[in-house]
Amino acid sequence: MINRYAVVAPLGALASRTGDEMAGFAILLFAYGGSSPDEGATVFGLLAVAAAVGGPLLGVWLDRARSSGPLAVSLASFTVGLATVGVALHHRHEGLAMVVAVLAGLFGPAVAGGWSASLTAPDAARARRMAVFDASSYSLAGLVGPALAGAAYATAGSNAPLVLTLLLLGAGTACAPFARVLRHENPDEETRHPLADLRRGIAAITRQPRLRAATTSSCVAFFGFGLFAVLVPAIGQEQFGSPGAGSILLAVLAAAALASNAILARGGALRSPGRVLTWAIALVGLGITIAAAGHPVTAILAAIVIGAGDGPQLAGLIQIRHQEAPAHLRTQVFTTGASLKITASGIGALTAAPLMHAGLSVALLTAAAAHLIAAHIASHAGDHPGRDS
């Protein structure tokens, strides 16, 4: 029983997130191979928008579940939806692909929030280790996913990345029945309407001071990070002569995030997740500022600094959510938080084009400023003395 929670479920989360990291790129490559890149970009956007809408609703369903079955169904629905999108694009049924993308995107937050809510443990020490692994899985997926997609495309053509994405998501779905469900009995749950749970979940985030500060800071930070992510190809072009060189910077960033989380796991810093969240967000902002210096060496240094903050930032956020989320609303807090971050990141990406008219440095400094504002907001999350020690 312990092994399935400690090994199988984390591996399932890692497989799902690696597939999720590949999904957008795989769809773009798949559509490009079918000479419909515009439709691929639209499908990619619809998946993100639908995820923002689906997060709170999906959280209510998963929170009311008494087993890991709904998580498995949600992951399977996302996987089948992506497969259907691929089939529709292949047969040039773009309208159907867009409709299915919206439906599939509703289940997308299960990959992030659904797994995060289940990757925990009853005792504090193991819960902290799970939080660090949870954050590290995003960094590892971000490092491995795009590389696998690129390698599959180079060796087997435009269909291969999407097929590999579906295999990874399928493997994660197969592991979902082994996810942990920590529940506290709630006597009035059976008679309470799901919409009441939805209101309670939103209220838990907006009225609980630490959750409100952590969630708000993460949204502002992800606005800045979404803006930065769109600028990475431009940095590659300007500093290394090729937009493709931006993938090297992302790989360095992900490796630094993994290393920083490994250091975090060995120490006791995560006993104060509010402090970790604050300095980590500030560190990401510092790294983006360094990137604005406009030199190949500083670009690599910036990627290292950003990664050093990015890993602990997510670990601190996850730990605060585990500490503060009411047990019967835990998954909703995670899925709603994930959907808000997706939306904020998308808005940040949309601001890149107009800011780029003023120059790359202006856009980068805007992204850095967002992180400094987010760090100030995160400082209000604080830490309870003795909590989770």
C-alpha–C-alpha distance, residues 318 and 213, integer Å: 13
Q: Can you list the alpha helix ranges (DSSP code H) found in the chain?
A: 2-3, 9-33, 37-63, 69-90, 94-105, 109, 115-118, 124-156, 160-175, 194-207, 209-240, 246-266, 273-291, 296-324, 330-350, 352-356, 360-378
C-alpha–C-alpha distance, residues 58 and 185, integer Å: 20
Asked whether the CA dihedral 369, 46, 70, 208 is positive or negative, the reply is: positive
Cα 356 to Cα 222, 297, 346: the distances in Å are: 18, 22, 16
C-alpha–C-alpha distance, residues 273 and 128, integer Å: 10
Predicted local confidence at residue 39, as pLDDT: 67
Cβ neighbours of 169 (radius 10 Å)? 26
Predicted local confidence at residue 68, as pLDDT: 74
Predicted local confidence at residue 6, as pLDDT: 64
Task: Tell me which amino acid residue 223 is.
Answer: F
Tokens read off for 97? 């692909």
Predicted local confidence at residue 147, as pLDDT: 75
Question: pLDDT digit of tens for each residue in the chain (389 aa)?
Answer: 445 656 787 888 889 989 988 887 677 677 766 655 566 667 766 777 777 777 777 777 777 767 778 888 889 999 999 999 888 888 888 888 889 988 988 888 888 777 777 776 666 777 777 777 877 787 788 778 877 877 787 788 878 888 999 999 999 999 888 876 655 555 454 545 556 656 666 777 777 888 889 989 999 999 999 888 878 878 888 888 876 677 778 778 888 988 888 888 776 666 788 889 999 999 999 999 999 998 999 999 999 999 999 988 988 888 888 888 777 777 777 777 777 887 787 778 778 778 888 889 999 999 999 999 999 999 987 766 545 44
Predicted local confidence at residue 3, as pLDDT: 52
Predicted local confidence at residue 299, as pLDDT: 93
Give, to the nearest 10 degrees, the angle between helix 194-207 and helix 209-240.
80
C-alpha–C-alpha distance, residues 180 and 185, integer Å: 16
C-alpha–C-alpha distance, residues 12 and 18, integer Å: 10
Asked whether the CA dihedral 357, 359, 363, 365 is positive or negative, the reply is: negative
| 241 CB burial (10 A radius; 0-12, 13-18, 19+) | exposed
117 in Cβ contact with 201 (< 8 Å): no
Cα 226 to Cα 113, 204, 263, 344: the distances in Å are: 19, 26, 26, 8
Element (H, E) at 316: helix 296-324
C-alpha–C-alpha distance, residues 305 and 372, integer Å: 14
Task: Tell me which amino acid residue 24 is.
Answer: G
Tokens read off for 183? 């529940």
Predicted local confidence at residue 191, as pLDDT: 47
